[in-house]
């Protein structure tokens, strides 16, 4: 890490800690959800193929679709409970994603708070005798005060992108599950 980056982090003051926590949580959620939402863990191709083609439902154990298939076998004559169970599975896929929404809203506000407090400190050091600040100290202080906002935005932007990507992926899976659910329900009636 360069000396300039260290100064930027110091410029954020005590607010670097909540910003760091926001950053760590966002990184964890994004990577955990990307891993949990891989195709093999949600809609394994072998099980999807079996559902679509009316073949025996085997394969893809411990996946979202396999849990729905197992529930359907136990509750053959209750399509409403099967649909409710599928909605719960979609809800499980969304786990953690709403926290990204909170982070991308909160991180810039935390950063802005750091900027405001930093600017208050800079303006409080104006000489009472002349009414003017020392230009070097003033510009350096303003630059450091703005560092909290930069850090907040650097956390918010990836959180926003990650949230959008993950939500779109979940929506795509939910649409595919709707089609598969109709096949499973029709299979139970036949």
What is the number of helices (H) and of strands (E) in the chain?
A: 8, 0
* Predicted pLDDT of residue 168: 97
Averaged pLDDT, 96-114:
94
The pLDDT, as a whole number, for residue 189 is: 64
Provide the pLDDT for residue 22: 96
CB–CB of 141/8 below 8 Å? Answer: no
More confident of the two residues 140 and 28: 28
Contact 181, 51 (CB under 8 A): no
pTM beyond 0.85: the answer is: no
What pLDDT shows up at residue 76? 83
- DSSP 8-state code for residue 76: T
What are the sequence ranges of the domains in the chain? 3-189
Q: What pLDDT shows up at residue 42?
A: 94
Q: What is the pLDDT of residue 3?
A: 64
Average pLDDT, the chain: 88
Mean pLDDT, residues 100-109 taken together: 95
């Amino acid at each position: 890490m360069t000396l300039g980056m260290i100064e930027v982090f110091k410029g954020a003051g005590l607010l670097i800690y909540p910003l760091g926590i926001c950053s760590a949580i966002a990184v964890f959620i994004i990577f955990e959800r990307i891993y949990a939402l891989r195709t093999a863990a949600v809609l394994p191709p072998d099980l999807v193929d079996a559902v679509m083609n009316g073949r025996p439902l085997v394969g893809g154990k411990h996946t979202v679709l396999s849990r729905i298939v197992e529930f359907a076998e136990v509750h053959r004559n209750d399509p409403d409970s099967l649909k409710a169970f599928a909605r719960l599975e979609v809800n499980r896929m969304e786990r953690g994603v709403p926290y990204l929404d909170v982070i991308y809203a909160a991180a810039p506000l935390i950063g802005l708070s750091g900027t405001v407090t930093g600017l208050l400190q800079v303006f409080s050091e104006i000489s009472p005798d002349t009414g003017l600040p020392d230009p070097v100290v003033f510009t350096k202080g303003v630059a450091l005060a703005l560092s909290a906002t930069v850090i907040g935005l650097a956390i918010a932007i990836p959180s926003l992108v990650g949230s959008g990507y993950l939500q779109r992926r979940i929506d795509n899976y939910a649409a595919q599950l709707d089609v598969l659910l109709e096949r499973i329900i029709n299979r139970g009636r036949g």
